[in-house]
Amino acid sequence: MQTIIPSKRRSFSLKQREEIDFYLAIGLWLIGFILFTGGPILASLLFSFTDWTGVNISKAKWVGLANFHQLLFDDKLFWIATRNTFYYSFGSVIFGTLGAFIIALLLNQKLPGSTLLRVIYYLPSIASGVAISILWLWLFNPQSGLINYTLSLVGIKGPMWLGSQQWALPALVLKSLWGIGANMVILLAGLQGIPVPLYEAARIDGASKWSEFRNITVPMLSPVLFFVLVISTIASFQIFTDVRVMTQGGPGTATYVIVYFIYQTAFEYLKMGYSSALAWLLFLIIFILTLLQLWGSRRWVYYESGERT
Amino acid sequence: MQKQNLSRRKFLQMAGVSLAGTALLAACPAPQAAAPAAGGAAAPSTAKTTLTFGHTWEAAFQAHQKEFDDKFKAKHPEIEALNATYNTWGDHNQIVPTWAAANTLPDIIYVHGRYAFPWNHEGILISVNDFIDKDTAFNVKGIWEEALRLYSYNGKQYEIPYDHGPIIMGYNKDLFDAAKMDYPSETWTMDDMLEAAKKLTKGDTQWGYEGYYDTIVGLGNEQGISLVGPWGGEVFNEAEDKIVLDSAESSAALKWWADLIHVHKVSPMPAQSQAVPNGPWVAGMAAMFSLASWGTPTLIQNAKFKWDVAPWPKGPKGQKTGSFGSGFGITRDSKNADAAWTYLAEYLSKEGMEFMWGASGRGSPARKDAYPSWLGSSGAPEHAKYYQDALENYAVTGHPYQTLAGGEILDVFNRNTQLVQTGDMKVEEAIAAMIKDGTPVLEDAAKKLKSG
Amino acid sequence: MRQTLTSDVRVTKDSGYTIPWHQRRKTRQTIQALIVYALLLPGAIIFLFPLVWMLSTAVKPENQIFLFPPKWIPEPILWSNFWDGWNKFLPFNLFLRNTLIITVNNIFGNLVSSCLAAYGFARLRARGKNIFFMLVLGTMLLPNEVTIIPQYVLFSLLKWNDSWLPLMVPPWFGWPFFIFLLRQFFMNIPHELDEAARLDGASSWRILWNIILPLSKPAIASVVIFAFIGNWNNFLAPLIYIRSLDRQVLAVGLNMFRGQYGQTNFGYMMAVALLVLMPVLIVFFVGQRVFIQGIATSGLKG
């Protein structure tokens, strides 16, 4: 290091300091990861190679890849749960993100009452729990529920929804759309971060609304849209509460999803090893999807800072 | 993508190097030697003890629990405090294994009949045999035998039941009165019940029979045997390593119940009953219901109609129904097992049960001599004696309760019986599927049980 | 198009900002506003359902809750359910105090630690940065059903059982969701700004404090909103770690109304749930105003 010529030393030490600052900045997180999260995560990875019941670790036996082998080749529930989870994820992410985007665009203005509308649209994402799921069971009632009643007004005979093998999963997707308020908030925050002068400049240049939307709104919002997309994907793959409360995976296996499977195996069947293996397969699935999204984002996500994902 | 590989490899390396120590420490608590102080004489110690509990009572019942605890404390000055943790039933069943993994179980926990066997197998609880033998004041004979068997493991008694009850027939008096029909009687057969149900069904707004909490064809512990038993069938063999639903009796029974929905249309489809909060029966939209004794307080609280109970109708092969219940046990982490037993012995004595569940109307106590206090309470319907009658004469504890796969096998059943109810599956297909999917589960569990 | 509207409405209220050609389109804007209402109002009715349902259930006598079809306006209206639900069974005042302490601590913890980490990931160049970022994402991917037992064992070994430490300490060490969220916002700020400051000798921390954070008010507001709600409603962690009733929090207390065989008193439960929901609504209401202010700030500086 001593041999570096003085003119370059300054830039090098700047760079070095930046690197030190980086570690200081992420230091708290890194310590927390080592102390609180990393251990349990690694532990669950180890458990996935054992037949641990979840109670007495001393009784656990190393079984190698047996859990994974059984899941992949010998457990049809795994494939059913995976298929259902993908279905749910696809539906709720696409419609959820699109819906939240449209509502955020519409609500991103100071119309009279827009504050109230924001609160209303945000509300269902925080009002949850058992009693609310009873409301949903009632809304989905094939005979007297509001959904089928509305459909009947336009001459459509609604399905049996949660009581039907074909419609139970779409019903859960529909319910998930009710919680798009959280995504809406993030997108609103993103929209508000776009500097107004950009639009004013565009207008002076005589740009059309559509080109403003395409050339300013979408690129400036893309980092946030990307966040919403990734987070929604992760959350949708981990859907659990609605299934546990409303359908318990049924009818049949129509709404049987991976995390419900994980929960049951771990705490109802006392097969923590098997459950951990299942969780790590889920991890792998989401990890690959996230990597694909990261990779894909290079084509459409634009960072004002010029960084890449 | 090189970065992807790099990050994953790094991920594992990092995690491995820096965390292995923590993780292993975290994951491997030294297995505690389960050394209950059962044998030792209850030496009077000067140190005050604190007992901890894992309860499942909802908010409204916690005051009643506290009342008992206060009385107990007043009687036992050596007890410093009784500290209860309250979780809902579902949460409790998840938290107990978590507590156990870290050796932090409370002294006494609630144990549902279905969880008793696997939890005992895991050593979460200790046997109370020695305590029972020593404590001559504790009258174990006064507890229904069918209740006690739920909590025996390896020939030893682990938990003590507090509540045990059978399924019998509940009926809505208002709907019977409106139709000018006689109430279900002691001599009723299943065919009588079907005839009455037909007359009491009105399209989509009123059903003759609602089943057991939205389930018409269900094989859960207490319900399974109440469906096939009257036809002379069984769900499992006695050892619980085989499903015997394909017997002529059992399949005929299941077909009869499924026909209530799809042929006679006297029972609702699942979607129809789920849409009514707490089910059509509580809403007054069903004339008859499989009513277990622990379901009566809810009804007294919520029903806007007059109702009563009748014996479970006789089937072609006589009268039979299923019973089930819950208990309490002392955990292996208890450092005050003697004090814990002192508490349990009083809690689950005749007087304790009368106070907690009998006179309070909460539910059918597991003791014969405490039953009358419930029969006369505000929580019991007029003819609650039919519950006692069933327990004494024709109710058996519903399997499975001696396999490690109790939860799993019932889920296998559920997935198939649900489709019978929605009409997506024929009864014969469902039986074949349950045997095909369920047998390996049971065999696997039996193997585990043998290997310890 | 939405931005035109924003500016225009502001124009009519705030004449200091007048840009002439806006005025000419006034009729068109009114029509646009009407279209927005037409699009959003039907949805709003559907989205308002849970609140109305909760309110209706909250004031119902016990035996009217399960009427079918439901009765939206009960007879009589039992406002006393609010008082009784809160006071009769469980120490909700205590739960409220506990929840407040934990939530306030955790919002600060989340904000400080996540802002720092997000800043590092978004704006500081370092080798191995992407690997660490993948780790941040990675911790979100594993469902907690399988980490909860080892984590519980870990905190037991630290003797943190039945205390607030497992709830209040980890938030000070970064929350992946917030780190990722803030990173996305931070990355969208032009690099020229801090490059210039850096050349002037500003430290990384000064850049964060003077440039990045002031430009990220909407993002910080949304983190505060989410951190508040997440901690206010947090159920699983207190459920597992806290055993003593007097240390318990609102979300778990609320759940204690539920009984195994339907002994749930939904009237009380809904009444208390509504009371618990109120602070969340207030925080959201206040927080979303910051979004609006955010326009002005970033508009001036951008």
Q: How confident is the model at residue C165 (pLDDT cuts 50, 70, 90)?
A: very high
- Indicate whether B204 and B315 sit together in one domain: yes
State residue C68's pLDDT score.
61
Q: How confident is the model at residue B339 (pLDDT cuts 50, 70, 90)?
A: very high
Task: Tell me the two tokens of residue C191.
Answer: 């690099």
Q: How confident is the model at residue B32 (pLDDT cuts 50, 70, 90)?
A: very low
What is the full DSSP assignment across C153-217? HHHHHTT-TTSSHHHHSGGGG--HHHHHHHHHHHTTS-HHHHHHHHHTT--HHHHIIIIITGGGH
Residue C286 sits in a domain whose CATH number is 1.10.3720.10
Task: Please report residues of A whose CB lies closer than 8 A to that of B29.
Answer: 57
- Indicate whether C42 and C91 sit together in one domain: no
Cα gap A238→C144, rounded to integer Å: 10
Task: Tell me the two tokens of residue C104.
Answer: 């306030």
The distance of A20 to chain B (nearest Cα, Å) reads 19
C79 in a structural domain: no
Query: Do residues B342 and B73 make contact, with C-beta atoms less than 8 angstroms apart?
Result: no
- Indicate whether C224 and C124 sit together in one domain: yes
- Indicate whether C145 and C285 sit together in one domain: yes
Radius of gyration over every alpha carbon of chain A, rounded to an integer in angstroms: 25
Question: For the residues C34-53, what does the mean pLDDT come to?
Answer: 85
Task: Please report residues of B whose CB lies closer than 8 A to that of C148.
Answer: 98
B62 in a structural domain: yes
Q: Which of B395, B426, B441 is a domain's end point? A: B395
What is the full DSSP assignment across C113-160? HHHHHHHHHHH---TTHHHHHHHHHHHHHS-TTTTHHHHHHHHHHTT-
- Indicate whether C22 and C163 sit together in one domain: no
State residue A26's pLDDT score.
95
- Indicate whether B186 and B308 sit together in one domain: yes
Q: Which chains have at least 3 CB atom pairs separated by less than 8 Å from chain C?
A: A, B
Residues 6+ apart with CB under 8 A from A76: none
Q: How confident is the model at residue C295 (pLDDT cuts 50, 70, 90)?
A: very low
State residue C166's pLDDT score.
94
- What residue in A sits closest to B3 (Cα-Cα)? A291
pLDDT at B41 over 80: no
Query: Does residue C273 belong to the interface with chain A, where contact is any CB pair within 8 Å?
Result: yes
Task: Tell me the two tokens of residue B14.
Answer: 């990092």
pLDDT at A234 over 80: yes
Portion of chain C with pLDDT greater than 70, in percent: 84
Sign, CA torsion C265/C267/C268/C274: positive
- Over residues B59-102, the pLDDT tens digits come to 889 999 999 999 999 999 999 999 999 998 889 999 999 999 99
State residue B26's pLDDT score.
37
Which residue out of B88, B207, B364 would a mutagenesis test of the C interface target, given it has the greatest number of C Cβ atoms within 10 Å? Answer: B88
The distance of C246 to chain A (nearest Cα, Å) reads 23
State residue B37's pLDDT score.
40
Minimum mean pLDDT among A69-83, A113-127, B223-237, B332-346: which range?
A: A113-127
C77 in a structural domain: no
State residue C23's pLDDT score.
52
- Indicate whether C231 and C154 sit together in one domain: yes
What is the full DSSP assignment across C226-242? HHHHHHHS--HHHHHH-
B10 in a structural domain: no
Check CB contact under 8 Å for C187 and A307.
yes
State residue C3's pLDDT score.
38
Residues 6+ apart with CB under 8 A from B68: B347, B352, B355, B356
Query: Does residue C158 belong to the interface with chain A, where contact is any CB pair within 8 Å?
Result: no
Q: Which of C58, C74, C97 is a domain's end point? A: C58
Q: What is the mean pLDDT of chain B?
A: 88
| Cα of C66 vs its chain's centroid, Å | 32
Task: Tell me the two tokens of residue B194.
Answer: 């079907």
pLDDT at B412 over 80: yes
C111 in a structural domain: yes
- Indicate whether B271 and B338 sit together in one domain: no
C295 in a structural domain: yes
Question: For the residues B225-248, what does the mean pLDDT come to?
Answer: 95
pLDDT at C293 over 80: no
Question: In whole angstroms, how far apart are CA B270 and each of A170, B205, B422?
Answer: 17, 14, 7
> What interface predicted TM-score (ipTM) does this complex get?
0.88
Query: Does residue C299 belong to the interface with chain B, where contact is any CB pair within 8 Å?
Result: no
Minimum mean pLDDT among A296-305, B279-288, C1-10: which range?
A: C1-10
- Indicate whether C103 and C153 sit together in one domain: yes
Question: For the residues B330-337, what does the mean pLDDT come to?
Answer: 95
- Indicate whether C241 and C189 sit together in one domain: yes
- Indicate whether B304 and B409 sit together in one domain: yes
Q: Which of B98, B301, B302 sits opposite C240 (nearest CB)?
A: B98
3-state SS class at B239: coil
Portion of chain B with pLDDT greater than 70, in percent: 89
Cα gap B332→B329, rounded to integer Å: 10
- Indicate whether C257 and C181 sit together in one domain: yes
C141 in a structural domain: yes
Which residue out of C243, C246, C266 would a mutagenesis test of the B interface target, given it has the greatest number of B Cβ atoms within 10 Å? Answer: C243
State residue B15's pLDDT score.
35
Instruction: Say if strands B307-310 and B321-330 run parallel, antiparallel, or are unpaired.
Output: unpaired
Neighbours of C19 (CB within 10 A): 12
B217 in a structural domain: yes
Q: Which of A26, A193, A213 sits opposite C185 (nearest CB)?
A: A193
B11 in a structural domain: no
Query: Do residues A29 and A37 make contact, with C-beta atoms less than 8 angstroms apart?
Result: no
- Indicate whether C106 and C13 sit together in one domain: no
- Indicate whether C49 and C197 sit together in one domain: no
In C, residues 55-114, which contact A (CB 8 Å cutoff)?
A: 57, 68-70, 112-114
Question: Largest Cα–Cα distance of chain A, in whole Å?
Answer: 84
Sign, CA torsion C27/C29/C32/C33: negative
pLDDT at A140 over 90: no
B326: nearest Cα among B299, B362, B298, B359:
B362
- Indicate whether B314 and B241 sit together in one domain: yes
Q: Which of B379, B395, B411 is a domain's end point? A: B395
State residue A195's pLDDT score.
83
Task: Please report residues of B whose CB lies closer than 8 A to that of C149.
Answer: 97-98, 101-102
Task: Please report residues of B whose CB lies closer than 8 A to that of A163.
Answer: 269-272, 274, 422
Residues 6+ apart with CB under 8 A from A146: A138, A139
Could you give the angle at the alpha carbon of B358 between the alpha carbons of B353 and B364, nearest 5°? 95
Amino acid at C235: F
pLDDT at C287 over 90: no
Question: For the residues C73-83, what does the mean pLDDT come to?
Answer: 86
Q: What is the mean pLDDT of chain C?
A: 83
- Indicate whether B416 and B280 sit together in one domain: yes
pLDDT at C8 over 50: no
- Indicate whether B78 and B118 sit together in one domain: yes
Q: Which chains have at least 3 CB atom pairs separated by less than 8 Å from chain B?
A: A, C
Containing domain of residue B71, as a range?
A: 49-164+325-395
- Structural domains in chain B (count): 2
Q: Read off the DSSP letter of residue B367.
A: B
- Indicate whether B305 and B407 sit together in one domain: yes
- Indicate whether B388 and B362 sit together in one domain: yes
- Structural domains in chain C (count): 2
Containing domain of residue C184, as a range?
A: 85-301
Cα gap C204→A15, rounded to integer Å: 11
Could you give the angle at the alpha carbon of C291 between the alpha carbons of C290 and C295, nearest 5°? 110
State residue B354's pLDDT score.
95
Q: How confident is the model at residue B322 (pLDDT cuts 50, 70, 90)?
A: very high
10 Å CB burial of residue A184 (0-12, 13-18, 19+) is buried
pLDDT at A296 over 70: yes
Question: In whole angstroms, how far apart are CA C207 and each of A18, B94, B215, B259, C194?
Answer: 12, 47, 64, 74, 6
Q: How confident is the model at residue C6 (pLDDT cuts 50, 70, 90)?
A: very low
- What residue in B sits closest to A268 (Cα-Cα)? B407
Portion of chain A with pLDDT greater than 90, in percent: 53
Minimum mean pLDDT among B126-130, B430-434, C34-38: which range?
A: C34-38
- Indicate whether C123 and C237 sit together in one domain: yes
- Indicate whether C16 and C156 sit together in one domain: no
pLDDT at A12 over 80: no
B392: nearest Cα among B183, B145, B198, B56:
B145
- Within 13 A of B359's CA, how many CA atoms are on the CB side? 9
Q: Which of A164, A263, A291 sits opposite B422 (nearest CB)?
A: A164
C99 in a structural domain: yes
pLDDT at C39 over 90: no
pLDDT at B384 over 70: yes
Q: Which of B6, B101, B277 sits opposite C131 (nearest CB)?
A: B6
- Indicate whether B432 and B336 sit together in one domain: no
Cα gap B39→A141, rounded to integer Å: 59
Cα gap A293→A86, rounded to integer Å: 15
B222 in a structural domain: yes
State residue B214's pLDDT score.
83
pLDDT at B134 over 90: yes
B179 in a structural domain: yes
pLDDT at C21 over 80: no
Residue B341 sits in a domain whose CATH number is 3.40.190.10
Q: How confident is the model at residue C66 (pLDDT cuts 50, 70, 90)?
A: low
Could you give the angle at the alpha carbon of B387 between the alpha carbons of B385 and B389, nearest 5°? 70
- Indicate whether B257 and B360 sit together in one domain: no
- Indicate whether B353 and B241 sit together in one domain: no
Cα gap A24→A27, rounded to integer Å: 5
Q: Which of B395, B418, B434 is a domain's end point? A: B395
Task: Please report residues of C whose CB lies closer than 8 A to that of B25.
Answer: 157
What chain A holds in terms of domains, given with CATH numbers, is 56-300 (1.10.3720.10)
pLDDT at B42 over 60: no
Amino acid at B247: S
Question: Largest Cα–Cα distance of chain C, in whole Å?
Answer: 73
- Over residues B177-216, the pLDDT tens digits come to 999 999 999 999 999 999 999 999 998 789 999 999 889 9
